[in-house]
Amino acid sequence: MPLPPDLHVHTEWSWDAPRGDMERSCERALEIGLPAIAFTEHADWALVHAGQHPVDLAGYLEAVERCRARFKSLRILTGVELGEPHWFPKETAELLAAGQLDRVHGSIHCIRIAGEMLDASQFRDRAGLNFPAAVREYFRETLAMVDSGQPFETLAHLDYPKRYWVAGAAPYREEDFEAEIRAILVAAARTGRALEVNTTRGDVLCPGPTVVRWWREVGGQAVQFGSDAHQPDKVAAGFATAAQVVEAAGFKPSPDPTSQWRR
Ligand SMILES: [Zn+2]
Ligand SMILES: [Zn+2]
């Protein structure tokens, strides 16, 4: 089975990737025989971390052009990962009007709790937080994003809070949130989105096999793969396993190597 394209990679143009390196990520992609790579930098306006800032799109696009000139045998796609675009429709529209982008992901990282924005990675540091309720709120916010009409094509890391599960809480089970997750999948299928299987740099599939099966059941048409690498050696990490899971759920590689897998 061919390796799928890695359509979710961060470089030095993302605020949280100090070890990111676009040129070395291209070299790595060629080394492991990847057909294509998309650099989807963070476009965040919910500023909850020190040093967080949206992407410098012009500088980023110049860097992509330099890589395209240097690595002619690799298909290099442009992109962004929009954080909470439905909270920032004006900023989103301005960013997307400022340059041509091949791939646009929609992501929820933050929810609002008692009027304050909080990233799911911060849940475990918040004393007294009702964790299951916060995860439900995360899924409610994801549904709101999918239903908002914001112009993104891929639903990224659907169950992101799973990466930062609180010690001592009951383990994550998709079935405990089945109604919430299925509602999101139905909305994503209805609006023609692709479901991303994010390998979390080889650590954990977001989402896992159960949700990918639900995606097919509700009529989802396309799946795409992302490593969420923030440094070159993590490009396509975990893709062999992810490809098996997606194939077993009933999706097939596209003849176009830059493309999603389809049912
Ligand atoms: Zn993300
Ligand atoms: Zn990402």
Query: Which ligand approaches the C-alpha of residue 163 most closely?
Result: 1
0.85 surpassed by pTM: yes
Please write the tens of the pLDDT for every residue from 81-103.
999 999 999 999 999 999 999 99
Task: Please tell me the distance from the alpha carbon of residue 226 to that of residue 230, in angstroms, as a whole number.
Answer: 11
- Ligand 2 geometric centre to CA of 182 (Å): 23
CB contact set of 102 (below 8 Å; sequence gap of 6+): 38, 77, 78, 79
Q: In whole angstroms, what is the distance from residue 141 CA to residue 85 CA?
A: 11
Which tens digit of pLDDT belongs to each residue from 201-241? Answer: 999 999 999 999 999 999 999 999 999 999 999 999 999 99
Q: Separation of 172 CA from ligand 2 center, angstroms?
A: 21
* Nearest bound ligand to the CA of residue 201: 2
> Could you tell me the distance, in angstroms and rounded to a whole number, from the CA of residue 30 to the centre of ligand 1?
24
Q: Which ligand is nearest to the CA of 9?
A: 2
Question: For residues 13 and 55, is the Cβ–Cβ distance under 8 A?
Answer: yes
**CA–centroid distance, residue 2 to ligand 2 (Å):** 23
Rg of the chain, C-alpha, whole Å: 17
Query: Could you tell me whether strands 110-113 and 194-198 are parallel, antiparallel, or unpaired per DSSP bridges?
Result: unpaired
Percent of the chain with pLDDT over 70: 100
Instruction: Decide if pLDDT at 29 tops 90.
Output: yes
Q: How far is the CA of 27 from the centre of ligand 1 (A)?
A: 23
